[in-house]
Amino acid sequence: MRKIKISTFNVNSLKARLPIVHSFLSGGGAPDILCFQETKCQDEDFPLDFFESLGYRCSYSGMKSYNGVAIASRERPDRIKAGFGDGSDIAQDRARILRASFGDMDVVCTYVPQGKSVDSPDFAYKKQFLARVRALFERDYSLQGKMLWTGDLNVIPTDMDVVHPENKRDHVCVCDGIRAALESVTSWGLVDVFRKHRPQAGEFSFWDYRVKNAFARNIGWRLDHLFATPGLERHSVDAYVVRELRAMERPSDHTAVTGVFEI
């Protein structure tokens, strides 16, 4: 039996957040696997040496200015794939989904499109993206196996997951349509392992820069998730929000969320 920590962190520019990532990966709570979203970093500029000096491997798939995903890990992954590989990948898909295999465990890191507004083409892309995630799971994974779907999913699963949901019924991360789209993925049989361990209200992973003192007042959103297959969920022993990263200098608007597994 060994303890494995897996974290997800929307960094909102990896380069701007190197001091925070350094602190996270060199500290006591350092994860074994760290999934990044919004690296905003082209592959040719990726700071691979930074991770290697901290004892981590890193795989990445980015683009200029927007999006970008990466997976840092103490162990070398057996396989890495960017995009869905479903025959309809466009450039930004490859900067939004990155999958890694470590032995019999699989990690799927996604930066789900935000969607802009419910009447935007971006929102249609968001719903289609989630439908493709479901199809991918059915195609490449099994509920008996150990698979973690993590990342910035840009969906508030329930009214507990945001402050004043009643004011946000038309929001692209809150509306019934997007909750149904998330549910159509998780209904495959996935378990929210964060909620399994943290059932209480007030647990968030994002605080808007534009809301005055949002973090101090805990006016937040739970957008960053850990969904596990039953085959992995039975090994999950803890999950928590890493609030320290949001309290540092020049923080991302998100912070990391960590799941702990005994395998």
Name the amino acid, one letter, at 37.
Answer: Q
* Number of CB atoms found within 10 A of residue 166's CB: 7
Would you say 46 and 58 are in contact if contact means Cβ atoms under 8 Å apart?
Answer: yes
Q: Is 164 in the site for DNA (CB under 7 A)?
A: yes
- 185-244 binders of DNA (CB under 7 A): 208-212, 217, 219, 221
Binding string, residues 112-131; x marks residues near DNA by CB under 7 A: -xxxx-----x---------
Active-site positions?
Answer: 111, 152
User: Min. distance of Cβ 37 from DNA in angstroms?
Assistant: 9
Distance separating the N- and C-terminal Cα atoms of the chain: 5
Q: Is 168 in the site for DNA (CB under 7 A)?
A: yes
With CB under 7 A as the contact rule, the residue among 5, 13, 85, 118 that binds DNA is 13
Distance CA 225, CA 231 (A): 18
Q: Is 16 in the site for DNA (CB under 7 A)?
A: yes
Name the amino acid, one letter, at 16.
Answer: A
Q: Is 163 in the site for DNA (CB under 7 A)?
A: yes
Would you say 156 and 162 are in contact if contact means Cβ atoms under 8 Å apart?
Answer: yes
Q: Is 2 in the site for DNA (CB under 7 A)?
A: no
Compare residues 153 and 232 and give the one whose CB is closer to DNA.
153
Q: Is 43 in the site for DNA (CB under 7 A)?
A: no
Q: Is 66 in the site for DNA (CB under 7 A)?
A: yes
Sequence-separated contacts (24+) of 246-250 with Cβ below 8 Å = 246/207, 246/215, 247/215, 248/19, 248/20, 248/23, 249/19, 250/16, 250/17, 250/19, 250/20
Give residues in contact with DNA (CB under 7 A). 12-13, 15-16, 40, 64-66, 113-116, 122, 163-164, 167-168, 171, 173, 208-212, 217, 219, 221, 250
